[in-house]
Structure 1
Amino acid sequence: MPLFMDRHDIPKEITAEHVAKMHQEDLKVEHLYGCRGITYWCDDQKHHAFCLIEAPNKEALQKMHNAAHGDFPHSIIEVDENLVASFLGRIEDPENVDNASIPIIDDSAFRAIMLIETNNFLNRAEANQLSVFTQKFHRSVMNTLKKYNGTIVRQNDCTYLVSFESVSNAVFAALKLQSNIKFVTPKIDMGSRKVNIAIGSGTPVTTKDGLFEEVIAFTTRMCEVVKSEIVLSNEVHHLFSIENRAFQLDKKVVRVLTPKEEQFLTVLMDHIEAIWKSPNIKVEDLSLKLGYSKSQLNRKLKALTNTSPNNFVRDVKLNRSLSLFQKQLNNISEVAFEVGFNSPAYFTKCFHEKFGISPSKYTQQHIF
């Protein structure tokens, strides 16, 4: 039977005890709708509750809640059991639940989400260097995440997606990872050993379909777009500052986005996602669509990415070409046209300039 997670935005006057009673009411009627309430998360400080329920479909889940207490979920998504466990650490009631007549679960589903990307190094490394770097860096990542209680949700040779209960642990882990990088492969040029880390935060169910999908999407954009070794969302920095008032982050290493920069990044990438395959993207059209003059767009993009609008669009296309190569579905000419280059030769030239390796050599060493 499918597994769902729903979100309830609870009023300020509703406490964890109220939510516990509502959960008990669900359990009384769940059999009438073919459902099985497994567990829930409640954060009465942030005013959210999330239920994990087996149900035939979303409609049955909604009817069960309505019959039990009338509190209609604000959003429902289908979830994977393993992902829930990776992100949130459990798929059943926690062991330390109060042994009262009505067990009260006061357990937040809010998480700091970290993305680690090593693409800049891996895409241009020789095969033997790649193997050495990957092995040593993986050991460094695993040791650091263990120390700071981070849980790997997904990983491959280039990326790690990590969940943290503690924002402070996430930030300190990022600082440790970046400080360790120079010791991972000391014989390889430091300029080649680039690791980008971004940390966002959020809850598992929003208006987007997918567990933590909204924060993952935004954190990915921060990691891939913003020019910095470590990028923090404004919310992550705010929470970290509250917990560590005496600690000063190094601005040369850590970039904190302002709310206006976050809004600009979201609007920019939403539009780029819709047009990046086009071979004729003009800066004039881009600035008009985003509501900025050419000079304003250039200034904002330069501050965020340290590149011009034309180069930014080109880099997006080149980064997307890597995904196509990874899927092994296209040859070099087909990939060039697919990502919006009019000439395979020009694509090859740009690819080499960005990654320090030709597309053919890249596919030989890292794909085929």
Structure 2
Amino acid sequence: MDRHNVSEGVTAEIVADLHREDLKIQHRYNCKGLTYWFDDERKTAFCLYEAPNEEAIKEMHAKAHGQVPNKIIEVDRSVVESFLGRIEDPEKSKKITLNIINDPAFRTIMVVGIKPGSLKQALDKEINFTIARQQKSITDNITLFKGRLVKQNPDHFLVSFYSVTNAVLSALKIESEFNKGIGGIDNSHTRLHIGLNSGIPVDQANGLFEDTLKAAYSYFDLVNATVVLSSEVKELYESENMNLPTLPATIVALTPPEEKFLKGLVEFTEREWRKTCFTTDEFSRHFGYSKSGLYRKLMALTGKSPNNYLRDYRLRMALSYLKKKDLNISEVAFETGFNSPAYFSKCFHETFGILPSHYMKSINS
């Protein structure tokens, strides 16, 4: 898939005409144009091609009309369809000479999941049954608001919405039903988390919706709130619904500086967390905060101190290593930045309510 940043005067008709010129000569470059998207508001166009390599796409565009893509990424057809709803031109558009498609590829992405209160509770069959019932309610809600289920993991769903309003209303309804315990479902041992972000499929990263997804996951995983919106989602929702009541006070809408801080926090942590010598002092130096300033910033966003944030991040990674069963407990401890297996076991038990040795036995039984 490629992205073209187009000038202000470019219209849907012009983009359709350029796409038609590509199709006339695509066979010379072993390319096959599947479809395209045009976003008149953001002045971006995205083309989906089967092609042998990036150079073939660039050469074809250059020869057809001279509009070389700003970026090209490799994508999986099924994933594109999950996010965007199609991988071919709409049927109604195939019957006309100039295939004008006014479908922006801009989407609102939701990460939503229900987590047990502790890892020990996650091993409880009754609580898992409760979570399964709650998840069924979520999937019904997603369908009601025309969301597309992109991916289903044990602890969360990844969903794509064409409409920002539908995405926000879906999140609000999911939260309301969870809090009410619809159908007599006990939610005392589970926690709901929802992160909403919006963006385009080909951004600065090299994966489909990669930057948008990464931010949405950070809102879901890190921010101390049930429903978290990016500043753009909030602005778009409010502009589309000027006559509706404002968003409930329980909803957290991040500011652009907060989004920037979270992005930097995630990227820096991902680079450094494995180092045993890495401490929270590194965070302070990297972001230019005093220790007290960093403490206040992290507590406000995540509800965790810098030390607890780093410890919990390492423990989550340790949990994923233990699930793979490739390493023993001591190896996992050192691999995830802990100084000793004993201290690792202590932290693991305090956080998850179960010793790593007992957890290993439970997943092996």
| TM-score over 0.5 (shorter chain) | yes
Stretch moving more, 342-351 or 149-158: 342-351
Q: What TM-score results when the alignment is normalised by the length of structure 1?
A: 0.93
Aligned residues: 362
Match of 1:275 in 2: 272
Contact preservation (8 Å) 1:43, 1:109: yes
Does the 8 A contact of 2:111 with 2:196 survive in 1? yes
Per the alignment, do residues 103 and 17 of structure 1 end up closer, same or farther by CA in structure 2, a change over 3 Å counting? same
- For residues 56-88 of structure 1, what are the alpha-carbon distances to aligned partners after superposition, in whole Å with 9 as ceiling and x for unaligned? 111001100000010010110111111011000
Structure 2 letter corresponding to 1:247: P
What CA distance in whole angstroms lies between the structure 1 residues aligned with 2:25 and 2:185?
Answer: 65
Tell me the amino acid that sits aligned with residue 124 of structure 2.
A
SS in 1 for 2:93: coil
Report the CA distance between 1:122 and its aligned residue: 6.5
Of the candidates 66, 72, 84, which is equivalent to residue 88 of structure 1? 84
The answer to whether the aligner puts 1:51 opposite 2:66 as a matched pair is: no
Deviations 1:157-183 (A, max 9, x none): 112111110111111111222222242
SS in 2 for 1:153: strand
Distance, in Å, in 2 between the alignment partners of 1:98 and 1:27 is 13
Match of 1:142 among 139, 151, 154: 139
Q: Distance in 2 between matches of 1:122 and 1:61?
A: 50
Alpha-carbon distance in 2 for matches of 1:328, 1:346 = 20
In 1, Cα distance between the equivalents of 2:354 and 2:185?
20
TM-score when normalising by structure 2: 0.94
> Runs of 4+ in structure 1 displaced over 6 angstroms?
none
Aligned to 1:250: 248
Counterpart code for 1:117: G
Return the letter of the residue paired with 1:169.
Answer: N
1:290 corresponds to 2:260: no
Residue from 171, 175, 179 that aligns with 2:172 = 175
Q: Distance in 1 between matches of 2:361 and 2:178?
A: 26
Name the CA distance, whole Å, in 2 between partners of 1:203 and 1:348.
Answer: 42
Q: d(CA) in 2 for partners of 1:366 and 1:181?
A: 29
* Distance in 2, Cα, partners of 1:288 & 1:299: 15
Structure 1: runs of 5 or more not aligned: none
1:201 is matched with which residue?
Answer: 198
Q: Aligned match of 2:3 in 1, 7, 10?
A: 7
Q: Kindly state the Cα deviation for residue 8 of structure 1 after the two structures are TM-superposed.
A: 0.4
Task: Verify: 1:16 aligned to 2:12, yes or no.
Answer: yes
Preserved contact between residue 98 and residue 105 of structure 1 (Cα < 8 Å): no
One-letter identity of the residue aligned with 2:239: I
CA distance in 2 between partners of 1:363 and 1:146 (Å) = 37
1:210 and 1:19 map into 2 onto residues whose CA distance is 24
The one-character-per-residue Cα deviations of 1:309-339 (angstroms, maximum 9, x if unpaired) are 1111111111112222232322222222111
In structure 1, the partner of 2:216 is 219
Residue aligning to 1:322: 319
CA distance in 2, matches of 1:185, 1:344: 44
Task: From 227, 230, 238, give the equivalent of 2:227.
Answer: 230
Task: Tell me the residue number matched to 1:109.
Answer: 105
Structure 1 residue 352: deviation in Å?
Answer: 2.2
Q: Does the CA contact (< 8 Å) of 1:324 and 1:335 recur in 2?
A: yes
Give the 3-state SS of the residue equivalent to 1:8 in structure 2.
Answer: strand
The RMSD of aligned alpha carbons is: 1.8
The correspondence for 1:41, drawn from 26, 37, 40, is 37
Whether contact under 8 Å (1:337, 1:343) holds in the other structure is yes
- AA at the equivalent of 1:244: N
Pick closer, same or farther for the CA change 1:189–1:211 going to 2, 3 Å.
closer
Q: Secondary structure at the match of 2:60?
A: helix
Aligned mates of 2:32, 2:56 — CA distance in 1: 11
Contact 1:7–1:51 (CA under 8 A) maintained in structure 2? yes
For residue 238 of structure 2, the aligned residue among 236, 241, 252 is: 241
Code of the residue aligned with 1:16 in structure 2: it is A
Aligned-pair identity in percent equals 44
Q: How far does the alpha carbon of each residue in 1:96-115 deviate from its partner, in whole angstroms, 9 at most, with x for none?
A: 32844212011010000111
Whether contact under 8 Å (2:108, 2:162) holds in the other structure is: yes
SS of 2:357's equivalent in the other structure is helix
Superimposed CA distance per residue, residues 204-226 of structure 1 (whole angstroms, 9 cap, x where no aligned partner): 11121111111111111111111
Instruction: Specify every segment of 5 or more residues in structure 2 that has no aligned partner in the other structure, as ranges.
Output: none
Contact map agreement 2:178 2:187 (CA 8 A) in 1: no
> Would the alpha carbon gap of residues 329 and 305 (structure 1) be closer, same or farther in structure 2, given more than 3 Å must change?
same
Question: Superposition pairs for residues 290-309 of structure 1, below 5 Å?
Answer: 290-309=287-306
Q: How far apart, CA to CA, are the structure 2 residues paired with 1:29 and 1:121? A: 58
